[in-house]
Structure 1
Amino acid sequence: MAAEGDFLARYRAVSNKLKKRFLRKPNVAEASEQFGHLAKELRQQDCLQYAAFCNLAMARCEQTLFNAPGEALALTDAARLFLSSEKENHSLRVLGFDEHLQAALNCYSFASKVYVEMNQPMMAASLCLELGNALKEMNRPGEAIVHYQRAAELQTQMPVEALLSMGEMASCKILTQMQLMCQERGLQLPGTSTPVGAFLDIVARCEISRVLLLMLLEPPPQKLLPEHAQTLERYAWESFDPHSQVTFLPENVFLLLQSVVMACQEKDTESLKSLQTELWPVLTAELNHLLHLVVQERITPSGQGI
């Protein structure tokens, strides 16, 4: 395994080739290739942060050569290596100042910027999503939100993908947390877990929002969180007794929501339009807008033809 001193010596040897000399032009392409080889070797030896530094040097070479695709790729590799190094430190409980994470954030940001300059916003958005997902997995949801938001901004030409990013950002998780807080800490009817007063209103609004968001985003079963799967189960047609499952919604609202779920699953747009009319008077402006998006998505898939 290459020692740190060996890495530094080889890194400096390649870097020295980039120095300008009298009547001699640096061979930037050759240096870039050598940095790439060194990065690959270090990655195989599990020296992730050193491999990342080599990829960064490679990105600078590609920038000098005006090779934007090569620069973006090298920056992305560096970002992923720094991120892997940070995760490894966390798993080993190594104390630090998140320096590898900060380096990864910078590399993702620069790579995304290069893709935007290349007029490839979807590639930039995919990097934002990748970073957002990684931060969420590392229990940093507050930091992840910024990157989900940026992804949505870059996906303006792809409405469904933008909505998915926004869904991650607003995420039913926030609604779930609100609902749990109301149920766990709000005022309740004696002898029951049913909240009362303002707490009941908040729980009901969160429940309706979650159902409509799930209908709008349509996450595949393998990506459905357990709490969201439980939400949908409450609206399965087998749940013919609403008050045995949902005690915080009026029976008529529960039945209408149940019908919305079935209509979405059956892609029955005419029934959806009818249900929208029936639900309109009992929903808030925000929830009605959400329901409108659900209906429009079924009428014009992927937002085309509006």
Structure 2
Amino acid sequence: MTESTGFELLDQYRSITSKLKKRFLRKPNETEASESFAALGQQCESQELPQYAALSWLAAARCEGTLGNPVSETAYLLRAARQFFKAEQEDFLTGCTCVSTENLEAGISCYHHASQRYVDDNSIPVGLDLEIVNFLQRIGRTESVRLHLNSAMELSKERPNSYLYCLCLLGSHFLKNGDYVSALHTYQEITKALQNIPTGSQKCGLLLECEINMVFLLLILRPSPQKISSELTRILEKYTWADQSDSSLIACKMSKKLFLLMQSIVLICQSVDTSSLREIESDFWPFLSVEQKDLLRTLCRIYYP
């Protein structure tokens, strides 16, 4: 963008804004201003000027709010939010990240105001929170991810599948950030939440994922007997005593081969000699997700550096 282009766009923006000023015996034409701001937003988008586009869409949203048109106001707020995020992403990709993160904060604010325009039982606000989460993860701003995931879960309390999805994202977030205690509690919560979901392959898959994650996390954390709950103690005991008839193992349909591997790793970690840990690491590979492989590597480094 040339300097002259920027001045021209700002002049257009100021010209539209000036028409909204109250004059004696004359009411501002909000409808005309909204249309003008929307046209300017389209123009800025076509010229790949996201920050200018965002400001224009936000101004159009304010006009629609004044006119009492919540549908148009919400639509413009979301266009503004996504353009603010696009501007933030461009800064991130070019390495010119603003310390104040003004585009990021403006975008989140627009999303927040748009969410408030929906009725309480609408599922769209959940999607908007997840849209923010996805963007924050893309640009490495993970410090606020938990806040928005908690918001999405609060809005999903009456939607078990949506609530579970948000919980799984939260568990992954904790794993990526090395917060293993919070991750362990989250996978416990997922296991409990799955009790309200009809039996099926998806439920079995999630239960199996949680089971493996919880075992690996317990072995990594090595909580003392005084600090571990009876519920968590039972998770490891089924492998210590080779109890493949445990209801949790039946529910997740763990294969015999995987059970033997899980039993082996628990017994090795509880023994004095952990030299055989590396030998079974490769045997686990076909059964694990990328996150679980990272957990296993961490576990191996702890017990067999």
Match of 2:221 in 1: none
Native 8 Å contact 2:167 2:190 kept in 1: no
Amino acid at match of 2:168: G
Instruction: Please state whether the residue corresponding to 1:252 is helix, strand or coil.
Output: coil
Amino acid at match of 2:134: N
Instruction: Please state whether the residue corresponding to 1:89 is helix, strand or coil.
Output: helix
Match of 2:250 in 1: 259
Amino acid at match of 2:116: K
Match of 2:74 in 1: 72
Residues 21, 210 of structure 1: CA spacing in aligned structure 2 closer, same or farther, 3 A cutoff? Answer: closer
Residues 108, 24 of structure 1: CA spacing in aligned structure 2 closer, same or farther, 3 A cutoff? Answer: same
Native 8 Å contact 1:82 1:103 kept in 2: yes
Superposition RMSD in Å: 3.8
Aligned partners of 1:138 and 1:40: how far apart in 2? 25
Residues 51, 253 of structure 1: CA spacing in aligned structure 2 closer, same or farther, 3 A cutoff? Answer: farther
Match of 1:300 in 2: none
After TM superposition, the score normalised by the length of structure 1 is: 0.60
Aligned partners of 1:207 and 1:53: how far apart in 2? 39
Residues 35, 112 of structure 1: CA spacing in aligned structure 2 closer, same or farther, 3 A cutoff? Answer: same
Aligned partners of 1:147 and 1:42: how far apart in 2? 29
Per-residue CA deviation, residues 269-292 of structure 1 (Å, 9 max, x unaligned), is: xxxxxxxxxxxxxxxxxxxxxxxx
Residues 149, 37 of structure 1: CA spacing in aligned structure 2 closer, same or farther, 3 A cutoff? Answer: same
Instruction: Please state whether the residue corresponding to 2:98 is helix, strand or coil.
Output: coil
Instruction: Please state whether the residue corresponding to 2:51 is helix, strand or coil.
Output: helix
Aligned partners of 1:21 and 1:87: how far apart in 2? 41
Match of 1:135 in 2: 136
Question: C-alpha displacement at 1:163, in angstroms?
Answer: 2.5
Native 8 Å contact 1:152 1:162 kept in 2: yes
Question: C-alpha displacement at 1:95, in angstroms?
Answer: 4.0
Aligned partners of 2:7 and 2:176: how far apart in 1? 51
Q: List runs of 5+ in structure 2 lacking aligned partners.
A: 216-235, 255-305
Residues 114, 255 of structure 1: CA spacing in aligned structure 2 closer, same or farther, 3 A cutoff? Answer: same
Residues 71, 250 of structure 1: CA spacing in aligned structure 2 closer, same or farther, 3 A cutoff? Answer: same
Aligned partners of 1:59 and 1:91: how far apart in 2? 28
Per-residue CA deviation, residues 218-264 of structure 1 (Å, 9 max, x unaligned), is: 9x99xx9xxx69x59x9xxxxxxxxxxx9x9436356745432228x
Q: Give the % identical residues.
A: 29
Aligned residues: 220
Amino acid at match of 1:49: Q
* Alignment pair present for 1:112 and 2:103: no
Q: 2:106 is matched with which residue: 82, 103, 107?
A: 103
Question: C-alpha displacement at 1:153, in angstroms?
Answer: 1.2
Match of 1:8 in 2: 10
Residues 4, 254 of structure 1: CA spacing in aligned structure 2 closer, same or farther, 3 A cutoff? Answer: farther
Decide which moves more: 9-18 or 46-55. 9-18
Native 8 Å contact 1:167 1:213 kept in 2: no
Q: List runs of 5+ in structure 1 lacking aligned partners.
A: 182-201, 235-245, 264-306
Amino acid at match of 1:104: G
